Amino acid sequence: MSIRSAAGSRAGSRASRRPVSVHHAVAPRPPSSASFISSRSRPESIHLGPIDVESDSHGARLSDGGSKIREEHRSTGPRTSTHHLPHYVFERISSHMQHLEDNLAHTRQEWGDGEIDPDDMLSRIANYRRGLDMVASPDACRNPSLKLRFDGVDDTLKELEEEANARKTRQEEGMEMTRKVAERRENGKREELERNQFLMQQKAEKERIRSEKEAKKREKAEEEKQRRILQEKKRKEQSIRAAAAFKERERLAKLEKERKEEERIEEEKNAFETRKKREKAARDRDMQRKIADKQARKAEEEARYQKKFTEEETRYVAKKTHQKMAKAELSGREEESRKRARERAVAFAKKVKDDRGKKLERKLEKLEKEISDVEEKLNHVADD
């Protein structure tokens, strides 16, 4: 039960009107510094036995003069004596309160030294409050001396509880800030690594193309047939790697078309057109290589966009999940504000998705047009 409500409305109103002399007469002397230093054992719990307060049954036996004095004392303020509370009960409550104050002082010292975390501190405060509620009965609260001690312990517990909640909030905010900083640092490292890998791949691709061109110039005429076979094999391997993102049917159709084209060229050409055949084959290889390069760049661009879109979608889903979890704790205007913010976020994400989809469609149409132009050029070359 609460300390404030335990005393009752009558005792509370009288305490505010108590004369100064009465307070000095009944207020306990503040404990010395030595009383706040107890053993270093950790008080996990407080065991307080039941306290029976006997009713004041001898009031009926008082004389008329004693009744008048008691009525006069009640009209001026709360009773300053403990005649309504048995002496052994008063001593027992005082002993329990002294034990509670000593343990609370020891806990406060450990809290000031930083030996207790906020969760443990809140648990101890709840334990102390249960121990205080066990002795703070309405009859005990009518005693001014005990009432002052109850209020002092209650104020101390409230102060410690506010400090524990504040420290717990600061710790949670610090952990959240540390997590966000680490996440941003990790994202930066991952983006830098991906960018370096992409640059290395581009550099390797350019170096490979340059080496191939130099090798063509150095090769002799008698090795032309072997060079053509090796280049054709390499071109097929590149075509297979570039077409991995397409469907199996398109890949097989393309290979079949290339095979038929090669057979037709080999059947129509004769021995007198060897030079012309070499030049045409070289032009075909250049065209196919350009197509393969464009397709590879397109696949890389689509992969980067898909990865970026997946990350944004993941963040949006995480944000939406967090909002759903927090929805149960919101009410009134806060819920409406979060709902509007969520709708704006969904609309913005949808708009970004639609814009990027349209952008990809335009790029795809442009690439298809370029491929169609290259195929027409190849058909014209084949007709020549």
**DSSP states along 124-154:** HHHHHHHHHHHH--HHHHTSHHHHHHHHHHH
pLDDT in tens, 239-285: 777 767 777 878 788 888 888 888 877 777 766 677 777 777 778 88
Euclidean distance between CA atoms 334 and 332, whole angstroms: 6
Cα–Cα–Cα angle for 339, 345, 347, rounded to 5 degrees? 105
Q: Tell how many helices (H) and how many strands (E) occur in the chain.
A: 11, 0
Residue 384: predicted pLDDT: 62
Euclidean distance between CA atoms 109 and 37, whole angstroms: 9
If you count them, how many residues does the chain have?
Answer: 384
Question: In the numeric block, which tokens belong to residue 38?
Answer: 């107890």
Read off the pLDDT band of 52 (50, 70, 90).
Answer: very low
Q: What is the mean pLDDT of residues 8-12?
A: 37
- Residue 147, class by beta-carbon neighbours within 10 Å (0-12 exposed, 13-18 middle, 19+ buried)? buried
- Residue 32 DSSP code: P
Report whether pLDDT(186) > 70. yes
Euclidean distance between CA atoms 131 and 126, whole angstroms: 9
Residues 6+ apart with CB under 8 A from 149: 28, 94, 97, 101
pLDDT in tens, 276-332: 777 777 788 888 888 888 887 887 888 777 878 788 778 777 777 777 776 666 666
Question: In the numeric block, which tokens belong to residue 320?
Answer: 């939406």
Euclidean distance between CA atoms 108 and 100, whole angstroms: 12
Of residues 358, 364, 216, 350, the one with CA closest to residue 298: 364
Residue 333: predicted pLDDT: 66
Residue 162: predicted pLDDT: 92
80, amino acid identity: T
DSSP for 358-384, written as a single string = HHHHHHHHHHHHHHHHHHHHHHHHHH-
Q: For residues 312-350, b (16+ Cβ closer than 10 Å) or e, as one string?
A: eeeebeeeeeeeeeeeeeeeeeeeeeeeeeeeeeeeebe
Residue 332: predicted pLDDT: 60
Helix, coil or strand: residue 85: coil
pLDDT in tens, 90-147: 888 888 888 888 888 898 888 888 888 888 888 889 998 888 888 888 888 888 888 8
Tally of CB atoms within 10 A around 6: 19
Euclidean distance between CA atoms 160 and 156, whole angstroms: 6
What φ, ψ does residue 47 adopt, rounded to 5°?
Answer: -105, 115
Residues 6+ apart with CB under 8 A from 278: 224, 228
Euclidean distance between CA atoms 230 and 235, whole angstroms: 9
Euclidean distance between CA atoms 256 and 82, whole angstroms: 110
Rg of the chain over Cα atoms, rounded to whole angstroms, equals 45
Q: What is the mean pLDDT of residues 347-369?
A: 83
Euclidean distance between CA atoms 264 and 381, whole angstroms: 14
Q: What is the mean pLDDT of residues 216-244?
A: 79
Euclidean distance between CA atoms 124 and 157, whole angstroms: 10
**pTM of the predicted structure, to 2 decimals:** 0.31
* Of the candidate ranges 5-14, 96-105, 207-216, 280-289, the one whose mean pLDDT is the lowest: 5-14
Residues 6+ apart with CB under 8 A from 150: 3, 6, 97, 132, 136, 140, 141
Tally of CB atoms within 10 A around 131: 22
